[in-house]
Amino acid sequence: MGERKHSEPALDDIFLALSHPTRRRMLELLQDHPSCVTDLAGSFDLSLNVVSKHLKSLERAGLLARTREGRVHVLRSEPQALAPATAWLSRHLAMWQGALNSLESFIIRSKSQTPPP
Amino acid sequence: MPTPTVSLTVSKILPCRPAEAFRAWTVPELFQQWFTPGPGIQVTAEVDLRKGGRYRLTFRMPEDKPSVVAAGEFLVINAPHYLEYTWSWTWGAEPGQPNHTVVKVEFRELAEERTEVVLTHEGFNDPEDCDGHTKGWTSILDHMAAALGSGPASG
């Protein structure tokens, strides 16, 4: 539970970026092969405008890097930028698992203290 | 409800009926006795258990660290089988995060006075929905594993 408030917007950006199937597919494609915007757009039945909106969402979250090679923009996925989201998930997973374990102990304890009527 | 897209699930089988588990989850005096997110952390619960009612969990941290608050609103109450509420972390005096998450707790009755508790924490819906349709939800952990290169799909 050590997050600081100012780290939250980045986390929100990451989860929002990942929350759309098209953007997840984009990341998967770019993970295997860095590519230019037009080639990437060719894998989707979407207008360039919509593709560009998805890319901006991924860039805002830091999950995608854009480099210029000559006149072409090359897109690469940046999987290490997922770290805050992975940390959030594992912390919450640990918290809820711990909570259910202690609920179990509590139930067992209260059973042994209160005999059934 | 918008389509949930990011979620984690944990479950546990308890040696009691759903009613008892539901009470332990929703009565503050009971909840406070077992719920803690870590060692040395003490929780105070305020609960207004009705649809639209709010709850507030204050976590007193060890060593005089600032308190942390989790708060939200009950969306669905179906005693003793199901609970659904929003969940936002608040740090110190800061307001809750705008992108709240949702916690769903199911109490499934099993034979021999046992109950399976299934908890799902999900949220972070896509407000843009650029191409107008979201194809169901998928476990984000799978996608992360794939994106991090440890998934079965690509290496």
CATH at A65: 1.10.10.10
Which chain B residues are Cβ-neighbours of A95 within 8 angstroms? 37-38
Q: Tens of pLDDT along B105-135? A: 999 999 999 999 999 988 655 444 333 222 2
Contact B130 A106 (CB under 8 A): no
Domain that holds residue A16: 5-113
Q: Is residue B130 part of a domain?
A: no
Q: Is residue B26 part of a domain?
A: yes
The answer to whether the beta carbons of residues B20 and A84 sit under 8 Å apart is no
Q: Which of A12, A85, A102 sits opposite B99 (nearest CB)?
A: A12
Which chain B residues are Cβ-neighbours of A15 within 8 angstroms? 6, 99, 123-124, 140
pLDDT at B136 over 80: no
Using DSSP's 3-state secondary structure scheme, residue A65 falls into: strand
The question of ipTM being above 0.90 is answered as no
Domain that holds residue B98: 15-125
Q: Tens of pLDDT along A12-46? A: 788 888 888 899 999 999 998 999 999 999 999 99
CATH at B41: 3.30.530.20
Look at residue B107 in the predicted model and tell me its pLDDT.
95
Into how many domains does chain A fold? 1
Contact A99 B36 (CB under 8 A): yes
Into how many domains does chain B fold? 1
Q: Which of B124, B131, B149 sits opposite A79 (nearest CB)?
A: B149
Contact B99 A3 (CB under 8 A): no
Contact A1 B127 (CB under 8 A): no
Give the DSSP letter string of chain B.
Answer: -PPP-EEEEEEEEESS-HHHHHHHHH-HHHHHHH--SSTT-EEEEEE--STT-EEEEEEEPSTTPPPEEEEEEEEEEETTTEEEEEEEEEETTPPPPSS-EEEEEEEEEETTTEEEEEEEEEE---S--TTS-------HHHHHHHHTT-SSS--
Please give the model's pTM, rounded to 2 decimal places.
0.70
Sort B118 into a burial class: Cβ within 10 Å, 0-12 / 13-18 / 19+.
middle
